[in-house]
Amino acid sequence: QSELTQPPSVSEVPGQRVTISCSGRRSNIGTNGVNWYQQFPGEAPRLLIHDDDILPSGISERLSASRSGTSASLAISGLQAEDEADYFCGAWDDTLAGPVFGGGTKLTVL
């Protein structure tokens, strides 16, 4: 299965900025937009960003994202304790004709 690669964990102190990377292949990130999801323990994922950099209504503007080639990144500025969660990237894969996901990155706010 074509899967996306993320770092297992990142950490930063409150108020600072953190970035989470996501790498894939030409058949997914290289061709299609990237989505980012947030998940708290015991809860369903929530869509944070879609089509590379679009924030759905209600999502904090402290979040931003970008895509270049077969990689993408999510940035969270002004870190708050409430940002501590797992973050997953996802993208449509043309080979599978379905979405693929990253392994998730656990964000710890120190």
Partner 1 sequence: QAQLVQSGAEVKKPGASVKVSCKASGYGFTDNAMHWVRQAPGQRLEWMGWISVGTGNTNYLPKFQDRLTITREKSASTVYMELHSVTSEDTATYYCARDLELLAGTLDVWGQGTTVTVS
Residues lying near partner 1 in the complex (CB under 8 A) are found at 1, 3, 32-33, 35, 37, 44-47, 50-51, 56, 88, 90-93, 96-104
Minimum distance, C-beta of residue 72 to partner 1, in the bound complex (Å): 14
Q: Looking at beta carbons only, is 13 or 41 nearer to partner 1?
A: 41
Rounded Cα–Cα distance for residues 12 and 55 (Å): 23
Q: Looking at beta carbons only, is 79 or 91 nearer to partner 1?
A: 91
- 36 closest CA partner among 15, 22, 18: 22
Burial class (CB in 10 A: 0-12, 13-18, 19+), 59: middle
Written as six digits, the tokens of 32 are 């299609």
The single residue listed with the structure tokens 């297992």 is 8
Report the 10 Å Cβ neighbour count for 19. 15
Minimum distance, C-beta of residue 29 to partner 1, in the bound complex (Å): 12
Q: Looking at beta carbons only, is 3 or 15 nearer to partner 1?
A: 3
Minimum distance, C-beta of residue 21 to partner 1, in the bound complex (Å): 15
